[in-house]
Structure 1
Amino acid sequence: MFSDQRFLWCQRVASCVGLLLIGIPAIAQLPPYDVFPPANPPYYRVRYEASKEPGELIFPVNYTVWIPPGVKHLRGVIVHQHGCGEGSCKSGLTGAYDLHWQALAKKHDCALLAAAYEQPEKADCQMWCDPRNGSGKAFERCLAELGAKSGHPELAKVPWTLWGHSGGGHWAGGMVLLHPDRVAAAWLRSGVPLLKVDPARPGIKAHSLDAAALRVPLMCNLGTKEGVTVKDGRFAGVWRANEAFFGEVRSQGGLIGVAVDPLSSHDCGNQRYLAIPWLDACLSARLPKSGSESLHDMPIEHVYLAEPTSLEAVAAAKFNGDARKAAWLPNESIAQAWMQYVKDTAVVDTTPPPAPTNVRFSGNELSWETEADLESGLASFIIERDGMPLTSIPEKSSNPFGRPIFQNLQYSDTPTQPLVPLRFSDSTAKPGNKHTYRVIAVNTLGLKSSPSADATSERPQ
């Protein structure tokens, strides 16, 4: 039986085909984001049409959530928010399917949620990336509805962990300022909200900063080519905006850092190899065991500090500069990762990924399940046949913005479509021969997992 989502998708594809056959341009007849991965459990999806009511969202939007299989009670939700423009908005369709981000969510019993706002290319991005324009209300509504769909009504009340790129960073930062008691931590990649009216950014409303927001750990992350070392070009103003936001929050004692990517511009580069460990540290410290408890405060005894555009971080007690102008880092482990990241983004990882599980063979097709390495994600899988390496899946990983990665990456740090499947067809096995297969996971630093359990197959004559 088809799920409701797949049935609707099939209906829409059929409609497209019919319209094309009679000569009517199908793209003009349908909403723009009707092609997406199917949301079968543990995935769930809701879609809202555009509203004409004052203060509500003027664009359609769909939200997809992944619930870790077997979790009894969610402790939080991690939100992966795309940036502005039609291409970035469409990239949000696969955000909840990212195996690396799922590893972070699973560790902390969190859902992973991604939105896809259906913003036309030349429409005003502020109409969704400022949460006061209706996207904040739509987000809270989706949590309640997705909680009901998934059998996890607590989703409507659990803490939020926010990651945002560009306009998504503006949105995530805005949600921190509007709902500081709900946010465990926020990573702002190449986008921040305004705290003061900026003549250079007309039409963007400023937010207010209160004491509760100062307790939320924040990281401003941007590429060096966004105004740090490259002072001109389309994104040269990103550093100025980040510098102003960081300066205002930090001067009041806010728990905020800066991490400058030395290789990139407005793309996301290798930021996930610092963002995920940083968020892991924040979630480990802040998330309560029970949903009825408030978020814990970040511990302060092991803090490190650094000049925002420097390459060195030191324990707070040894920092010689003005602490209220220094980038804040929660502990020594993150400080070490930060120093490597701002040098060359090659964040060190010495632990191999988990071994693939549930390896099975049907016909000539091998399939398996996997969890990504929390620190370094997944680059590929090695297929062994009868104890010897047979092939690598994929033969060559692709990522134009950073380390090669198994699911490939789009501009807004989400997997490409169609999603890369966890399967391999062995066309070289001869009929009637019995073979034993194993699968090995390889992370993005080349570290290999232990081999999976054996899967045995005998192809028919």
Structure 2
Amino acid sequence: MDMKTFASLVIIWNMGIWQIQSQYYEASIQPNKQDLYISAIYRIWIPEQIKKIRGIIIRQHGCGINAKDNGLNHANDLQWQALAKKYNMALLGTELIGKEACSEWFNIEGGSGKALLKALKKLAKMSNHSELEEVPWALWGHSGGAYWCTDILFEYPGKVLCAIPRSGGLAFTKLWNPLVKQVPVLWMAGENDLVDGFDYVREMTKKSFYSYRRYGAIWSIAIDLKADHGNRKGRSFAIRWMDAVLSMRLSNNGNNPIQLDSHDHWLGNLETNEVKTALEVKNELSDWGWLPNEDIAKNWQEFVQTGWVSDSTPPPIPFQLKIERSEGRCILSWKSEIDIESGIKQFNIYRDNELMGIVHGQEHNFHDAPEPVDIKFEFIHDLENKDGQITIESENFQGIKGFRSQGVYDHHN
């Protein structure tokens, strides 16, 4: 099938109950004879009732079968969906396959760059959102996907809101392009970032950062001291960083990203991990990474020292609780928004303040793809001759519990 529409998948999967009523669409782009990729499939998620999409968060998988098999599922990631929804953006996952080598698809001159544009044209028509062809992009890519992101950044700098290449990407081998200096980039890698047994990714990441930072590029770098080539807990900083940048770069007047003030920001020292305002730093800029504001500067400082960014805010409160009975079972369902900073680890179900069950949320794997892909916000148990008030609280991955929901009465008479 060339393309497939997933319209209101939640209705198909779960009788209309999920965290957000939304739509998924898929498009497949066949290669031309000169293209080096053999398959390119794209899945896009669009929040419900959105009138105009402001941008697209593109999540590009890395090399290997497991990464490819997880690629489309990036569009199903609830935490990244929450970030996209905040800014009226869409979320895109991909599945790219080369004929032999991974580089056949992550080098966009092999056809994958043009395939993206063709896919967005198809998806625009399918979703009745013609603006998908024109809106800017926020890029994230892992391993081979980081190379792809870097290629897109250098080819289309005017369309890129920001980019996060994780464990890959080469800036220092590209033809000089002064326009990329104006695009916020967060280079990320693990301290023990080995690929096929070789330890080169971390230093390659640093070299890419330095190649343009020394000329004033608004770029930063964050090395996770506890990580290898896998993403570990990198999203605890990556999502916060992108959130801050999107708030500064998305325009309310047209699709061109807002150019940032070169002096109104913070800096992080790569050797000492200290943070300062830009006006406080007088020495060589290449020793300091660009950070959008004070909060993100403190987040960066914590992340590079501990491999994690802590959180003190409670997750959202579940709502619209509903109880149905069927074939001797009680089905409790609800809706909930997702904690942008720390996700949802689980929902705790109470009857009259006594814990009666747990529904697990969505975790993420080596590739930073969601597991499981689809979450049902429901709790099923056998009918008991016991009345009581049912409430739910969400708990994020920091172990912080939110306020209890409004109750629904479970009446058995």
When normalised by structure 1's length, the TM-score is 0.80
Q: State the Cα distance separating 1:119 from its structure 2 match.
A: 4.7
C-alpha change, 1:233 and 1:97, in structure 2 (3 Å) is: closer
Q: Does 1:169 align with 2:146?
A: yes
Q: Does 1:143 align with 2:120?
A: yes
Q: Does 1:377 align with 2:343?
A: yes
Q: Is the 8 A contact 1:436 1:457 kept in 2?
A: yes
Q: Is the 8 A contact 1:86 1:119 kept in 2?
A: no
SS state at 1:92 partner = helix
Q: Does 1:114 align with 2:93?
A: yes
Q: Distance in 2 between matches of 1:124 and 1:239?
A: 22
Q: 2:261 aligns with which of 272, 279, 299?
A: 299
Q: Distance in 1 between matches of 2:340 and 2:32?
A: 42
Identity of aligned residues (%): 31
* Cα deviation digits, residues 31-86 of structure 1 (max 9, x gap): xxxxxxxxx9511111234x2521x3522121111111121111100011111111
Q: State the Cα distance separating 1:225 from its structure 2 match.
A: 0.7
Q: Distance in 2 between matches of 1:259 and 1:137?
A: 30
Q: Distance in 2 between matches of 1:137 and 1:310?
A: 42
**Corresponding residue for 2:12?**
none
**Corresponding residue for 1:365?**
331
Q: Is the 8 A contact 1:359 1:367 kept in 2?
A: yes
Q: Distance in 2 between matches of 1:5 and 1:147?
A: 12
The residue type paired with residue 40 of structure 2 is V
Q: State the Cα distance separating 1:317 from its structure 2 match.
A: 2.6
The residue type paired with residue 440 of structure 1 is E
Q: State the Cα distance separating 1:318 from its structure 2 match.
A: 2.5
**Corresponding residue for 2:408?**
455
SS state at 1:42 partner = strand
C-alpha change, 1:307 and 1:67, in structure 2 (3 Å) is: same
Q: Is the 8 A contact 2:150 2:171 kept in 1?
A: no
Give the superposed CA RMSD. 2.3
Q: Is the 8 A contact 1:171 1:193 kept in 2?
A: no
Give the unaligned 5+ runs of structure 2. Answer: 8-20
C-alpha change, 1:270 and 1:195, in structure 2 (3 Å) is: same
* Cα deviation digits, residues 298-354 of structure 1 (max 9, x gap): 233332223335422222233354113421112111110000001112313221111
Q: Is the 8 A contact 1:300 1:330 kept in 2?
A: no
**Corresponding residue for 1:79?**
58
Q: Is the 8 A contact 2:165 2:186 kept in 1?
A: yes
Q: Distance in 2 between matches of 1:209 and 1:68?
A: 38
Q: Is the 8 A contact 1:438 1:451 kept in 2?
A: yes
Q: 1:53 aligns with which of 8, 25, 33?
A: 33
* Cα deviation digits, residues 71-125 of structure 1 (max 9, x gap): 11111000111111111111112111111101110111100111012457xx211
Aligned residues: 394
The residue type paired with residue 144 of structure 1 is K
C-alpha change, 1:448 and 1:382, in structure 2 (3 Å) is: same
Q: Distance in 1 between matches of 2:71 and 2:40?
A: 10
The answer to which structure has the higher strand fraction is 2
Question: Following superposition of structure 1 onto structure 2, how do residues 80-229 of structure 1 map, counting pairs within 5 Å?
Answer: 80-119=59-98, 123-196=100-173, 207-226=174-193
Q: Is the 8 A contact 2:346 2:395 kept in 1?
A: yes
Q: State the Cα distance separating 1:241 from its structure 2 match.
A: 1.5
**Corresponding residue for 1:18?**
none
Give the unaligned 5+ runs of structure 1. Answer: 8-39, 197-206, 395-405
Q: Distance in 2 between matches of 1:340 and 1:280?
A: 17
The residue type paired with residue 78 of structure 1 is I
Question: Following superposition of structure 1 onto structure 2, how do residues 220-239 of structure 1 map, counting pairs within 5 Å?
Answer: 220-226=187-193, 234-239=197-202
C-alpha change, 1:218 and 1:149, in structure 2 (3 Å) is: same
The residue type paired with residue 426 of structure 1 is H
Q: Does 1:338 align with 2:300?
A: yes
Q: 2:41 aligns with which of 45, 52, 62?
A: 62
